[in-house]
């Protein structure tokens, strides 16, 4: 599992090279390219990956139970990591910086790295991706509520509306009833053309997400990237402590359900590096986006080794 996961992470990061090069060679403006790809991922590809996974999976009671379990697990786990992060970073005097480090240690790059990683690790396995889409829904709920409060320190920025009304969550809410009533591509062979289109857009998530990562890496100042000890601690919390906490929660779950089919999802989502959206929140709320970028950059680089390690130990 370690070598296979290491190879898959390396392949993912290899896909980031074109994004890095086109910015370094000044072929396109970095900001414009990153914004276009972000819009494509959030408003096109992520909804299609949800539809593709649901509409290619026949209804099964166990899958529904697992789906609910992943949804709840992601919310509980992320909230728990926020609490742990707040305790670990009490030594940081500046409230805004403390909030950034806690956020970086709690929220993983589920949409833009976890799903592409699972696509490569488990090719053609729609069930695994289906569970991952549930993680994104739960992630958004926590990010736009507790996460927003963590970054800003102000309750007025908590947004249940944005937590629910966003493309991945809306796609999930539309696809779920279709799954429950077993209305899918398997039951309608005449829709095979639509199924192909859906799959093609879903398959774009990995390449586009990694190209955007390459663009972001190209913009980073490597001279200052490794200068902040707090960034390393945030990366350690996210990459080393989070999988241990997830494993403990998973073991607790085994007392009342079988987690064999979702074990990979639970550990993978916990092992992901810090979420990209921390930089978006910092920009929107006028916080230190430079520190946020360092957290994402350092954790992403180190995850090359820590993701395979987490899967080897806990899956």
Residues 96, 291: Cα–Cα separation, whole Å: 10
Q: What is the Cα–Cα distance from 180 to 315, expressed in whole angstroms?
A: 29
pLDDT, mean of residues 112-135 = 94
User: Cα 69 from chain centroid?
Assistant: 17
4 — pLDDT class (breaks 50, 70, 90): confident
pLDDT at 40: 93
pTM: 0.93
Q: Is the pLDDT of residue 287 over 90?
A: no
pLDDT of residue 159: 84
Residue-wise pLDDT tens digits, 166-204: 999 999 999 999 999 999 998 788 888 999 999 999 999
Average pLDDT of the segment spanning 49-60 = 95
Average pLDDT of span 126-131: 96
**Token pair of 206 as six digits:** 């990995």
Q: Which two tokens stand for residue 236?
A: 């350690």
| Own/partner pairs, 56-61, CB within 8 angstroms, 24+ separation | 56/126, 56/184, 56/185, 56/186, 56/195, 56/199, 57/126, 57/127, 57/130, 57/179, 57/184, 58/182, 58/184, 58/186, 59/179, 59/180, 59/181, 59/182
52 confidence band (pLDDT: 50, 70, 90): very high
Burial class for 157, CB neighbours closer than 10 Å (0-12, 13-18, 19+) = middle
- pLDDT at site 191: 85
Is 282 in a helix, a strand, or coil? Answer: helix
Q: Which domains does the chain have, with CATH numbers?
A: 2-314 (1.20.1530.20)
Name the pLDDT band for 250 (thresholds 50, 70, 90).
very high
Give the pLDDT confidence score for residue 285 in this predicted structure. 86
pLDDT surpasses 90 at 88: yes
Predicted confidence band at 113 (pLDDT cuts at 50, 70, 90)? Answer: very high
């Amino acid at each position: 599992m370690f070598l296979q996961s290491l190879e898959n992470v390396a392949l993912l990061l290899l896909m980031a090279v074109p994004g890095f090069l086109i910015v370094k060679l000044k072929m396109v403006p970095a900001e414009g390219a990153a914004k276009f790809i972000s819009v494509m991922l959030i408003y096109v590809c992520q909804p299609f990956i949800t539809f593709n996974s649901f509409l290619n999976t026949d209804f099964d009671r166990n899958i529904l139970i697992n789906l609910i379990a992943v949804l709840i697990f992601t919310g509980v786990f992320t909230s728990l990591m926020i609490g742990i992060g707040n305790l670990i970073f009490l030594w940081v005097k500046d409230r805004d910086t403390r909030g950034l480090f806690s956020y970086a240690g709690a929220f993983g790059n589920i949409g833009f790295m976890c799903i592409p990683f699972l696509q490569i690790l488990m090719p053609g396995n729609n069930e695994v991706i289906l569970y991952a889409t549930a993680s994104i829904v739960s992630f958004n709920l926590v990010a736009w509520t507790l996460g927003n409060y963590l970054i800003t320190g102000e309750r007025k920025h908590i947004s249940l509306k944005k937590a629910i009304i966003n493309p991945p969550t809306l796609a999930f809410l539309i696809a779920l009833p279709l799954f429950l009533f077993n209305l899918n591509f398997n039951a309608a062979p005449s829709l095979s053309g639509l199924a192909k289109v859906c799959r093609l857009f879903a398959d774009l998530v990995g390449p586009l997400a990694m190209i955007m990562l390459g663009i972001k890496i190209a913009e980073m100042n490597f001279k200052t990237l490794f200068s902040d000890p707090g960034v390393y601690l945030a990366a350690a919390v996210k990459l080393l402590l989070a999988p241990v906490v997830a494993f403990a929660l998973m073991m607790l779950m085994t007392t009342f359900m079988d987690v064999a089919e979702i074990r990979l999802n639970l550990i993978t989502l916990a092992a992901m590096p810090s979420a990209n959206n921390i930089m978006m929140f910092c920009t929107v709320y006028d916080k230190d986006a430079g520190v946020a970028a360092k957290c994402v950059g350092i954790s992403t680089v180190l995850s090359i080794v820590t993701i395979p390690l987490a899967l080897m130990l806990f899956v």
